[in-house]
Amino acid sequence: MTIALQIRPGKTRLAGILACAAALVASLAHADGGATLRLVVGYPPGGSADVAARVIAPRLGTVLGQTVIVENRPGAGGQIAAQHVKGAPADGSVLLLSNTHTMITVPLTVRKPGFSATTDFKPVGTIATFELALAVFPGTQVGSVQDLKRWFAEHPLQRAIGVPAPASAPEFAAARIAKLLRADAVPVPYRGAAPLVQDLIGGQVSVAVSGVSDLILYHRAGKLRIISMSAASPLLPGVPSFSQAGIDGLELTDFLGLYAPAGVPSDRVTRLNAAVNSVLAMPEVQQTLNEQALVPAPGSPDEHSRRLSKAGTALGALVKDSGATAQ
């Protein structure tokens, strides 16, 4: 079974997107006045969604001619933030910046999440994509997936695989990795990526699956070792994809999206999308996001809707394969 979430825009189409955005940008400051725009993030400061929000917020404010602030409303896998934005005024002054965990995995695993990603929100656009990664504590001396298989066999009391949250894509991916490696390993959920990474670099947990953006700085510093990821990337040369390492079915390219309450007028969404695409085209934004293993992904609201639909099908298959049911 192959699970693919990745959608990459071609260069010609991308140039067209940015040209359309540029044509709208000149009128944005006049159209949006000086009201404050809030970007709501459902996770604590420091995670990939928060980092992306803080990178784009000041530039988005410049393009729109208004103040843009980041507001963290963490809890329940992003449900608190999603419920808040769902009930926000339908004027585009409050937006949700979120990952697929909140918008796809939570509705697949929670019976009453308090929102619907498809009916309570309008996509504004994709912010960035990022990969899932399999990482180890350097003290294990594990340098490859095959090394990890042998390590699990030799360390029967250390078969935990840390993941940043329960009922998350990393947890389902960790279970699949253990299954394919024929290892009696068990995913151990943490309350966020930050405590997971701290335990990994401290050796309290020896193996972890998380977003590569949570791990890359520590990998570069030699404090942990990424041995495989959902798709090979020039950001981490020499690190094979799961498929290249012999683990099929986990091409789980994740993404961050920007969403408005469902009642926001379409012309406002179009203006916001143009502004976001303009910000994502800025070289300093691209460089800063790349440093965090986030790949800018400008596009239209319709393209983001298709990305969500494809990801929902793929993650739904992964959840079903794990045997998990909505609680």
Q: Where are the domains of the chain?
A: 11-129+254-322, 132-229
Q: Which amino acid is at 294?
A: L
Task: Please tell me the predicted confidence (pLDDT) of residue 26.
Answer: 46
| Residue 228 CB partners (closer than 8 Å, separation 6+) | 133, 134, 144, 145, 239, 240, 241, 242, 244, 245, 247
Q: Among the residues of the chain, which ranges form H helices?
A: 11-32, 48-64, 79-86, 100, 106-109, 145-154, 169-180, 193-202, 212-220, 266-280, 283-291, 301-322
Task: Please tell me the predicted confidence (pLDDT) of residue 27.
Answer: 47
Residue 106: other Cβ atoms inside 10 A: 25
Task: Please tell me the predicted confidence (pLDDT) of residue 13.
Answer: 52
Domain spanning 11-129+254-322: which superfamily? Bordetella uptake gene, domain 1 (3.40.190.150)
Q: List the chain pLDDT tens, one digit each, 327 residues.
A: 434 444 445 555 545 545 554 445 444 444 455 689 999 999 888 888 999 999 999 999 999 999 999 999 998 989 999 999 999 999 999 999 999 999 999 999 999 999 999 999 999 999 999 999 999 999 999 999 999 999 999 998 888 999 998 899 999 999 999 999 999 899 999 988 889 999 999 999 999 999 998 999 999 999 999 999 999 999 899 999 999 999 988 888 899 999 999 999 999 999 999 999 999 999 999 999 999 999 999 999 999 999 999 999 889 988 888 888 878
Q: Do domains 11-129+254-322 and 132-229 have the same CATH topology?
A: yes
Task: Please tell me the predicted confidence (pLDDT) of residue 153.
Answer: 93
CATH architecture of 132-229: 3-Layer(aba) Sandwich (3.40)
Q: 192-224: per-residue pLDDT in tens?
A: 888 999 999 999 999 999 999 899 999 999 999
Task: Please tell me the predicted confidence (pLDDT) of residue 33.
Answer: 54
For CA atoms 138, 141, 142, 144, the dihedral sign is positive
Task: Please tell me the predicted confidence (pLDDT) of residue 163.
Answer: 95
